[in-house]
Each structure stands twice: as structure tokens, then as C-alpha cells.
């Protein structure tokens, strides 16, 4: 039997209310020992899902008044009997209430332990748990849409349908292997191939959503580069909406690489603002390290925002940047800055290595410069036909790789059928494909994988 766990489930700090969650067999009885309803009755006399007002006791003293709600097994977040104690939201008072619960016999919950129990008790699939993990960290409206309950349900339903189709196929194939003389299978060979092809298309469709899902959830590693004074920090600040980087007129001010996750349109940018790469950076060792780091970032980034100053002719510093990014693997957007000034730069001197080119001015309406950039990035990294409001969208690398495996195995099964190989050759591939799909919702997944997922949650979730 699982022990009773407890933790403060609201964020640390001062607030109106704090909630201490207690979960496990006996959680109701344990809570009734430290909580006296104001009515004088026992907490256990009240029905579940009923808000009961009363006093919280610790070492025989009333330490606070608050409200307790009990949830019965099967109707709580974890699936176990749960008590939720709402007390006053001070740091010390919520910790004292937690201490009272621990003194009554509960153990402190580890990170993500409530959600892990929900998963173990079948209240959540792993896909849903992953989405909840992301929801807690969400920084953009698209991330919220991607991970909120309706989107979680859509993905869960599609994966369940794929699983159900593969299970039905396998059942039919086994029936035909075991009783070849009887007409038991639901599917003929031809029907099996067409059903496999249909399931394969469903799997492929889900796989195709990952590019967009990943850009929204995990984000794209991006780097801003350009010679000193071209407007890198200004752009960085425009995207971040605050003055994070120092904007000055002195070349070489941005010495280190700042990196932050910032929402831009639909996607998240994991954005680095790099030191200006330029020849003769002087002997300043700090600046040299900054430049070295910028080079590394440029070669590994998925997106390079290369800035050129429209108000100045292309010079050797710009050419160095061009050479630096020419061989890099990421998508490249050419951003012509200071569009509010007279245009001097000869655009024909810029090589044809960019996926998009746009002009911006920090002086124009902020939203205009940003929306031009965000449109260009969305076009490069997302599929506009995929909507987080209506589609099932895959956003985790783990789910994506399991789907790819499932698709390959279904392909092999189709080939085996088409080549007229014996039934059991195809059935073992379908069985493995089913295993890959079962990994997605966590029906068959290694403990190390679930450990990794739940360790990313906070205590209290
Ligand atoms: P960095 O060295 O590349 O980071 O360049 P900064 O962002 O620090 O900008 C250098 C100077 O150019 C600052 O004085 C900015 O105010 C100015 N600047 C940046 N963008 C624009 C722009 O679009 N128009 C004009 N007129 N000035 C700009």
C-alpha cells in the first residue's frame, strides 16, 4: 500500500489562501485527527466533496482556521483518497499546517509525486501528465492552448483510436492463425492491408504535427548576430518586451551571450543575443570569449537572425558575419535594421543565403516590426493549417519518436502482407507497433522514463 503523502500545493509566498494536499489510503482519517469542524462533529461524518469549515490543530493547539474538502478514491486528482486543507496563505502558517499533517503520520511528497500517483492509478495517461507539466510552465497563450484539457483529450483520443485499431487487427490475425479453417478473422488480407494503411495515415498525420508542436512547446533555438551597433540589443529588447540587454552606442557592449525563452507569435524563441563578431575585437579577453561563444551559438542554432544596418554600406565586419553564417545549418532570416534612416546599403551585395529578408525599424510602432518578424518565423517553423484549438498536436520528443517507430513497423507489416509472407511475420510487427503506441500514453514504458518526466514537476503537483 502507498504511504500517505502531503505537500503545500500552492506556490510559496504570501497569498490569500494556501492549499495543503494529503493523498493516500487513510488520508481522510489522518486529516480528521488534526482538523475539528466548527460544528463540533467529526470531519469523517461529512460527505466527500463538501467544504467543511473548522480549526486546524497542531500539538493540541488551534493554529489556524480553514476549510477541508475530502475526495473519495477514484474521484480525486491522484485517484486515492485525498484531503485538501485550505488555510491562510502566509509562508509560516502554511508550513505549520503542513508540519501538523506530517506529525500526524504523512510523509512529504516528492516532486511530481501527486501526478505520478494519478498516472499509476490510471487517472492520467503519460501524454496528459507531460502536457500538465508544460501547462504549469506555460509562457504563451499557444502553450496554454496546446496543453489545456481539450487539447489533451484530443491527443489522448487519437492515440487510443490508433491503439484500438491495431488491437482489432491483431485479434483478427491471431484468430486466423489459430483457426485457419474457420472464417473467424474480421479482416481479409486485402482488408488488413487497407486497414493498416489507414492507421498508418493517422500515425503520419500525428507525426506531421510535431514540428509545429515542438516550436510552440519547446521552442526554437535562435541567435541574433550582426556587427556592433547594428541593432542587436534593440531587437532583443523589442522581442523580450523589456530592457534586458544593454543598448549603447559603444561597439562591443554586449559581451556575454544572453539566453531566454520568449514567446513570439505562435512559437517560443530560445533566443541568444550574441556579442558582435568583428575583426580586431581588441585584446579584451572577456570580449574574445563572448565572440567565441557567439560562433558556437551560430553553428548550433536552428534560426539565425542576421542583422545588417541599412543606413551604412556593407563593410568587412558584415562580410565576416556572412561568412560565419553561410555554412551554418539553421534557417536564416536577413533583418535590415534602421529602416527609418536613409537607405545606403546595396542589397545586391547580400548573398542569396537567406530564407527570408525583412526591414525593421526600432522607431516604428513596436508591434509592426514584431509582427513582420513573427510572420516570417511562423512560416518557417510551423504549419499554419495546424490549430492548437481544434487539432491533436504532438509536442513531446518522446511521443514523436514512439510514433515514428510505430509508423516504420506498420510499413514493415504492410510490406510483409504485400509480399505474401506468413501471417505471423506481419503480426509480430503489428505487435511491436502496438507496443510503441502503448509507450506514448505510458501503458508500457520504462520506469526511468516516467521518473524523468515526473522529476520535472514541482513539489505539490
Ligand atoms: P548592438 O551593438 O548591435 O546591440 O546595437 P544596439 O541595439 O545597441 O543599437 C546601437 C544604436 O543604434 C543604438 O543607439 C540604438 O538606439 C540605435 N538603433 C537601433 N535600432 C535602430 C533603428 O531601427 N533605427 C534607428 N534610427 N536607430 C537604431
pLDDT per position as a tens digit, 160-173: 999 899 988 888 88
Question: How far is 277 from 226, CA to CA, in rounded Å?
Answer: 7
Sheet holding 15-23, edge to edge: 35-37, 52-58, 61-71, 82-89, 15-23, 5-8, 107-108
Q: What percent of the chain has pLDDT above 90?
A: 50
420 contacts: CB under 8 Å, gap ≥ 6? none
Instruction: Retrieve residue 140's grid coordinates.
Output: 504563451
Kindly report the number of other CB atoms within 10 A of residue 386's CB atom.
19
**Closest listed residue to residue 255, CA positions, set 301, 288, 290, 215:** 290
Question: How far is 320 from 295, CA to CA, in rounded Å?
Answer: 11
**Closest listed residue to residue 2, CA positions, set 94, 119, 87:** 119
Cβ–Cβ < 8 Å for 102, 85: no
Q: What is residue 181's predicted lDDT score, i.e. its pLDDT? A: 63
Q: Cβ(362) to ligand 1 under 6 A?
A: yes
With a cut of 90, say whether residue 136 has pLDDT above it: no
In the chain the domains, ranked by start, together with CATH numbers, are: 5-109 (3.30.1360.120), 146-209+392-442 (1.20.120.430), 216-381 (3.40.50.300)
For residue range 328-377, what is the model confidence (pLDDT) as tens digits? 999 999 999 998 888 888 888 899 999 999 998 887 765 677 888 999 99
CA angle at 329 for the pair 324 and 335, rounded to the nearest 5°:
60
Question: How far is 71 from 117, CA to CA, in rounded Å?
Answer: 15
Instruction: Retrieve residue 139's grid coordinates.
Output: 509562457
Question: How far is 270 from 265, CA to CA, in rounded Å?
Answer: 13
Question: How far is 285 from 291, CA to CA, in rounded Å?
Answer: 10
Q: Cβ(239) to ligand 1 under 6 A?
A: no
Instruction: Retrieve residue 163's grid coordinates.
Output: 491503439
Cα(227) to centroid(ligand 1), Å: 11
Q: Cβ(248) to ligand 1 under 6 A?
A: yes
Question: Mean pLDDT over residues 212-239, rounded?
Answer: 91
Question: How far is 276 from 290, CA to CA, in rounded Å?
Answer: 9
Cβ–Cβ < 8 Å for 410, 196: yes
Instruction: Report the nearest-CA residue for atom 19 of ligand 1.
Output: 231
Instruction: Report the nearest-CA residue for atom 6 of ligand 1.
Output: 231
- Give 44's DSSP letter: G
For residue range 396-443, what is the model confidence (pLDDT) as tens digits? 888 899 999 999 999 999 998 888 777 777 788 988 998 889 888 776
Q: What is the pTM of this model?
A: 0.77
Instruction: Report the nearest-CA residue for atom 26 of ligand 1.
Output: 338
For residue range 273-310, what is the model confidence (pLDDT) as tens digits? 664 444 444 566 666 666 777 788 888 999 999 999 99
Give the mutation target among 226, 359, 362 for probing the ligand 1 site: most ligand atoms within 8 A of CB: 362
Amino acid at each position: 500500500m502507498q504511504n500517505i503523502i502531503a505537500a503545500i500545493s500552492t506556490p510559496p509566498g504570501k497569498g490569500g489562501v494556501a492549499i495543503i494536499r494529503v493523498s493516500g489510503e487513510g488520508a481522510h482519517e489522518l486529516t480528521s485527527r488534526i482538523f475539528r469542524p466548527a460544528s463540533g462533529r467529526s470531519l469523517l461524518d461529512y460527505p466527500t466533496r463538501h467544504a467543511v469549515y473548522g480549526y486546524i490543530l497542531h500539538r493540541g493547539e488551534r493554529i489556524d482556521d480553514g476549510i477541508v474538502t475530502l475526495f473519495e478514491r477514484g474521484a480525486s486528482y491522484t485517484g486515492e483518497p485525498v484531503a485538501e486543507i485550505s488555510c491562510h496563505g502566509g509562508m509560516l502558517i502554511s508550513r505549520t499546517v503542513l508540519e501538523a499533517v506530517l506529525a500526524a503520520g504523512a510523509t512529504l511528497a516528492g516532486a511530481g509525486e501527486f501526478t505520478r500517483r494519478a498516472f499509476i492509478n490510471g487517472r492520467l495517461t503519460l501524454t496528459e501528465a507531460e502536457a500538465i507539466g508544460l501547462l504549469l510552465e506555460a509562457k504563451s497563450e499557444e502553450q496554454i492552448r496546446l496543453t489545456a484539457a481539450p487539447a489533451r483529450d484530443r491527443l489522448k483520443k487519437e492515440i487510443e483510436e490508433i491503439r484500438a485499431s491495431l488491437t482489432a487487427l491483431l485479434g483478427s490475425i491471431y484468430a486466423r492463425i489459430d483457426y485457419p479453417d474457420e472464417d473467424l478473422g474480421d479482416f481479409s488480407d486485402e482488408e488488413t492491408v487497407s486497414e493498416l494503411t489507414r492507421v498508418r495515415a493517422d500515425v503520419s498525420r500525428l507525426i506531421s504535427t510535431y514540428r509545429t508542436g515542438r516550436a510552440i512547446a519547446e521552442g526554437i533555438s535562435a541567435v541574433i548576430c550582426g556587427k556592433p551597433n547594428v541593432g542587436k540589443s534593440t531587437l532583443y529588447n523589442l522581442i523580450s518586451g523589456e530592457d534586458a540587454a544593454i543598448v549603447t552606442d559603444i561597439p562591443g557592449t554586449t559581451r556575454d551571450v544572453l539566453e531566454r525563452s520568449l514567446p513570439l507569435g505562435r512559437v517560443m524563441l530560445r533566443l541568444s543575443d550574441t556579442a558582435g563578431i568583428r575583426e580586431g575585437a581588441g585584446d579584451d579577453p572577456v570580449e574574445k570569449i563572448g565572440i567565441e561563444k557567439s560562433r558556437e551559438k551560430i553553428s548550433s542554432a536552428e534560426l539565425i537572425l542576421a542583422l545588417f544596418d541599412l543606413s551604412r554600406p556593407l563593410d568587412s565586419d558584415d562580410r565576416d558575419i556572412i561568412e560565419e553564417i553561410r555554412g551554418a545549418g539553421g534557417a536564416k532570416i536577413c533583418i535590415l535594421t534602421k529602416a527609418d534612416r536613409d537607405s545606403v546599403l546595396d542589397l545586391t551585395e547580400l548573398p542569396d543565403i537567406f530564407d527570408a529578408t525583412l526591414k525593421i525599424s526600432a522607431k516604428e510602432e513596436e508591434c509592426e516590426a514584431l509582427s513582420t518578424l513573427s510572420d516570417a518565423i511562423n512560416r518557417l517553423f510551423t504549419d499554419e493549417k495546424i490549430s492548437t484549438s481544434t487539432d491533436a498536436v504532438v509536442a513531446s520528443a518522446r511521443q514523436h519518436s514512439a510514433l515514428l517507430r510505430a509508423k516504420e513497423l506498420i510499413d514493415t507489416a504492410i510490406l510483409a502482407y504485400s509480399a505474401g509472407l506468413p501471417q505471423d511475420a506481419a503480426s509480430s510487427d503489428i505487435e511491436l507497433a502496438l507496443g510503441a503506441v502503448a509507450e506514448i500514453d505510458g501503458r508500457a514504458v520504462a520506469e526511468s522514463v516516467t521518473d524523468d518526466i515526473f522529476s520535472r514537476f514541482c513539489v505539490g503537483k
